[in-house]
């Protein structure tokens, strides 16, 4: 069974610091990886996609992928209170997304 | 533009009711999805319409039935639901059956 694992948290980070979120996956043939942000009571919002090994940066967000280690991470620089949310890692295979259980992130002012 | 719209935003129904949820996108995406999400859990895939072909999660009970009238519209018909079906129902669409964009969801309560 394909699995995507995340530390459920909660992860508390001071405002202005770097938040680091991690995700591992079990299926070696997975090719597409995504990070979604979900505020309480709202729907998931896509914030990053990554397909190749290495880093991908978008504003304050950096996604990192290591296919050999089956590991994908999300770094949030200069964390803001508005970054407080649950972050879902998702892995795509055969047109279907498998989600991790999510990491609850709290930014402390 | 990555907007997916869903109606209604909230729905309360009894166990004997029949209701429908509606999802619409006008981005020309060829794949659309229904998910169910319970509190503090990740979304669970229910149905996929991809390139006019339906895929079903076999664990989804038959009281849920999808309908795709055209490539922009996806409905979810609900009949004889149970209280445990209360959840946030999410629709998503994808241009190439990989990156998925979610609508705002319908909060369903079954009494």
Residue B1 confidence class, pLDDT cut points 50, 70, 90: low
- Establish if A7 touches chain B: CB-CB under 8 angstroms: no
For B3-61, write each residue's pLDDT tens digit.
999 999 999 999 999 999 999 998 999 899 999 999 999 999 999 998 888 988 999 99
CB-nearest to A101 from B42, B97, B105 is B42
**Best of A37, A41, A43, A100 to mutate (most B CBs within 10 Å, chain B):** A43
Confidence of residue B98 (pLDDT cuts 50, 70, 90): confident
The 3-class secondary structure across chain B, one letter per residue, is: CCCEEEECCEEEECCCCEEEEEEEECCCCCEEEEEEECCCCCCEEEEEEECCEEEECCCCCCCEEEEEEECCEEEEEEECCCHHHCEEEEEEEECCCCCCEECCCEEEEEC
Chain B contact for A2, CB < 8 A? no
């Amino acid at each position: 069974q394909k699995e995507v694992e995340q530390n459920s948290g909660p992860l508390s980070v001071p405002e202005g610091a770097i938040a680091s979120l991690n995700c591992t996956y079990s299926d070696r043939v997975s090719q597409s990886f995504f990070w979604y942000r979900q505020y309480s009571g709202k729907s998931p919002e896509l914030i990053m996609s990554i397909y190749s090994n290495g880093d991908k940066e978008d504003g304050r967000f950096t996604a990192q992928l290591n296919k050999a280690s089956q590991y994908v991470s999300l770094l949030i620089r200069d964390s803001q209170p508005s970054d407080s949310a649950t972050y879902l890692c998702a892995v795509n295979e055969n047109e279907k997304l498998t989600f991790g259980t999510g990491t609850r992130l709290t930014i402390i002012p | 533009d990555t907007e997916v719209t869903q109606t209604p935003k909230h729905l309360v129904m009894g166990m004997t009711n029949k209701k429908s949820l509606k999802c619409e996108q006008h981005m020309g995406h060829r794949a659309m999805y229904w998910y169910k999400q319970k509190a503090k859990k990740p979304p669970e895939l229910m149905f996929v319409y991809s390139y006019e072909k339906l895929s079903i999660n076999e664990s989804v009970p038959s009281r849920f039935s999808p309908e795709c009238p055209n490539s922009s519209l996806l409905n979810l018909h609900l009949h004889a639901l149970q209280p445990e079906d209360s959840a946030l129902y999410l629709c998503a669409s994808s241009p190439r059956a990989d990156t998925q964009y979610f609508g705002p969801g319908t909060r369903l309560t079954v009494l």
